[in-house]
Amino acid sequence: MGVSDRAEAALGLLTDRPLVVLTGAGLSTDSGIPDYRGPGAPRRSPMTFQEFVSGPAAQRRYWARSHLGWSRMRRADPNPGHLAVARLGASLVITQNVDGLHERVGTTPLVALHGRIADVVCLACRRTSARSALQDELDRLNPGWVARHAHVAVNPDGDVELEEDFGDFVVPACRCGGVLKPDVVFFGENVPRERVAHCYGAVEALAEGTRRGSLLVAGSSLAVMSGLRFVKRAASLDVPVVIVNRGSTRGDDLATSTVSAGCSAFLSALAERRASARTSDSARGAVS
């Protein structure tokens, strides 16, 4: 079966069924944000939570790099894949991405599994605030930092590839004196239980009724368990799983159908088909 035949088979599993969508970094590559594990992606080692809380040196290193990454990530625009996902009429969209691009196009209902890089939380008082305000303060405290490092590459989590002495980089504290952290799940942290339970519930609901729904994975290699567990749960319930991704994924053996391709074209085609199917259903209902 060729790639086009695989895509056609996958579309057939997704067009007129209830749908849950799980998205990963591959969905945002068309917005200029690189993914972690796509073909040709360099090996990266994101900072762990344990390293971040180890002391001021690690926190300066994180914020100095993240300040550069966010200065560009905040300017990224949603691409046709994000727009298509918003049109699918899914019962839930689960994103592993922290870039906020699903939110920008108004995708609902949505669970940002790993949080949003646009939010900041204090590890002491748990107060949350806007990243934009911290960005302005970092600019004020570290004049010229962004301009001096305009060449560095941005990672999907808003970090950058940069190694140097960060000892002079100034990081403000929360107004309570606590340590500020982006409100995202770092490696070494657990996704909040209520988020996981909500996502499990949506996946399990696909097994109910006379016609099973489908789980669509778009742009994720499923290399970490935070996303793979939903594929495992769907497969255990005999819910069809479709994976669309550039290259192989850790969930391929569990999938009903796989399409090795970028996300935007496939998702746009799926959105059109589901819209047509809904129109046809409405027309039949009016006639009856």
pLDDT, tens digit, for every residue of 69-120?
888 788 899 999 999 999 999 999 999 999 999 999 999 999 999 999 999 9
114: annotated active-site residue:
yes
The CA dihedral of 184, 186, 190, 193, to the nearest 10 degrees, is 10
Q: Is 23 exposed, middle or buried (0-12, 13-18, 19+ CB in 10 A)?
A: buried
Based on its alpha-carbon atoms, the radius of gyration of the chain, rounded to whole angstroms, reads 20
pLDDT bracket for residue 195 (50, 70, 90): very high
Torsion sign across C-alpha atoms 94, 100, 104, 105: negative
Q: How far apart are CA 23 and CA 286, in angstroms?
A: 35
Is the pLDDT at 202 greater than 60? The verdict is yes
Decide if 68 contacts 160 (C-beta within 8 A).
yes
pLDDT bracket for residue 36 (50, 70, 90): low
**Given 114, 149, 151, 198, the catalytic residue:** 114
Bridging pattern class, strands 115-122 and 128-130 = antiparallel
Q: How far apart are CA 38 and CA 26, in angstroms?
A: 7
Determine the Cα angle at 109 with ends 73 and 18, to 5°: 120
The residues, any chain, with a CB within 8 Å of residue 282's CB and separated by 6 or more, are: none
- 176 among the known binding-site residues? yes
Domains of the chain: 3-287 (3.40.50.1220)
Q: What is the pLDDT of residue 40?
A: 53
Is the pLDDT at 39 greater than 60? The verdict is no
| DSSP of 164-175 | S--TT---PPPT
Is the pLDDT at 42 greater than 70? The verdict is no
Q: How far apart are CA 23 and CA 30, in angstroms?
A: 14
User: Over pLDDT 90: what percentage of the chain?
Assistant: 74
- 122 among the known binding-site residues? yes
239-275 confidence digits (pLDDT tens): 999 999 999 999 999 999 999 999 999 999 999 999 9
- 174 among the known binding-site residues? yes
- The pTM assigned to this predicted structure is 0.90
Is the pLDDT at 48 greater than 60? The verdict is yes
